[in-house]
Structure 1
Amino acid sequence: MDITERIADLAAPGVEATGLVIDGVEVHKAGKRSRVVVTVDLPETEVGSADLDAIAEASRAVGKVLDDADLMPGEYLLEVSTPGTSRALTERRHFMRARTRLVVIDLVSGDKARGRLTDVTDDAVLLDGEAGEVTVPFGNIARGQIELELKRIEED
């Protein structure tokens, strides 16, 4: 088990206690110290954004685990954040978290599909676009991207 997996395994209970889940862990050497980047998010069943207080609590929990387990030799810089809207949607769980958002999907055929992500099934995503509701099977998706909106659907 590599260091990123060990960090994720040890930190998961503390992060989950804050209502978040670990989305990814990266460790980079930065001179004499290491930079540990832990990405947290709401569980895939949730819609919305992670609360800043929960992110701060998760950061403290991860820091305590790293210090107690003495996993990082020497000094390290810990960054705990969310994936943000710029993350590529490449896995089912990414699309689950993007429900209600406006997305653009690059299809393996080279075409694009655009619309509001209304649902995610085991094998497809459902978009509500200009042409109505469209089902896009995961096998046809190269990647997706959330389109940044200045006015969210909840404000309509």
Structure 2
Amino acid sequence: MSTTQIERLRALLEPLAAARGMDLEDVRITPAGRRRLLQVVVDTDEGVQLDACAELSRDVSEKLDETDAMGEAPYELEVTSPGAERTLTEPRHFRRATGRLVLITPREGAELTARVVAVDESGVDLQVPGEKGRKPTARRIDFDGIARARVQVEFSRKPAGDDESSKEA
């Protein structure tokens, strides 16, 4: 679909998401057989609950029925959250990932996996895990120094304060 259509949809849908306290993260239109799939991706600092997606989906559906933004061709609407391995592109994304493990590709230097410790207007403070028994190290990266970043899924993360030194032998 054309960028113009996506821009029109963003302008139409952003106020609906904002009215429900959500950020409109992305609008995508992809072919799905004879239909198209309109994906509306939203998020909040607390995450997005299924009920909130359903409520926004009703709002979006009503608004799209009132306009010709999707044209005459049939489409399916999906309102969703960004997902577990979301790409981080805005400072608010990093803020929402505080405490999470992220894979960062800096504009200069080697790729690194680190935990987000803190975020401010200009960058992110990270804790880089130590290798081969070494202690973790702190690192600061300004947002303009990040080429790409993505949240990593952790299946076996230990609870805070649960390390080998606190276990009984």
Residue 31 of structure 1 deviates from its aligned partner by: 4.9
Aligned position for 1:15: 17
Encode CA deviations 1:69-105: one digit per residue, 9 max, x unaligned: 1322231111111111222223333323222211121
Residue 21 of structure 1 deviates from its aligned partner by: 1.8
Q: Are the structure 2 counterparts of residues 139 and 33 from structure 1 closer, same or farther at C-alpha, using a change threshold of 3 Å? A: same
Moved runs in structure 1, 4+ residues, more than 6 A?
A: none
Unaligned runs of 5+ in 2: 130-135, 161-169
Aligned position for 1:86: 85
Residue 152 of structure 1 deviates from its aligned partner by: 6.2
TM-score norm. by structure 1 comes to: 0.81
Aligned position for 1:106: 105
Aligned position for 1:56: 54
Residue 137 of structure 1 deviates from its aligned partner by: 1.9
Residue 65 of structure 1 deviates from its aligned partner by: 0.8
Aligned position for 1:134: 139
**Larger Rg computed on CA atoms:** 2
Q: Counterpart of 1:2 in 2: which secondary structure?
A: helix
Aligned residues: 151
Q: What does 1:38-53 align with in structure 2 at a 5 Å threshold?
A: 38-42=40-44, 46=45, 48-53=46-51
Unaligned runs of 5+ in 1: none
User: Relative CO higher for 1 or 2, CA cutoff 8 Å, sep ≥ 6?
Assistant: 1
TM-score norm. by structure 2 comes to: 0.76
Aligned position for 2:133: none
Please tell me the root mean square deviation across aligned C-alpha atoms, in Å: 2.3
Q: Counterpart of 2:36 in 1: which secondary structure?
A: strand
What is the identity percentage for the equivalent residue pairs of Structure 1 and Structure 2?
A: 36
Q: Tell me if structure 2 keeps the 8 A contact 1:37–1:80.
A: yes
Q: Are the structure 2 counterparts of residues 77 and 125 from structure 1 closer, same or farther at C-alpha, using a change threshold of 3 Å? A: same
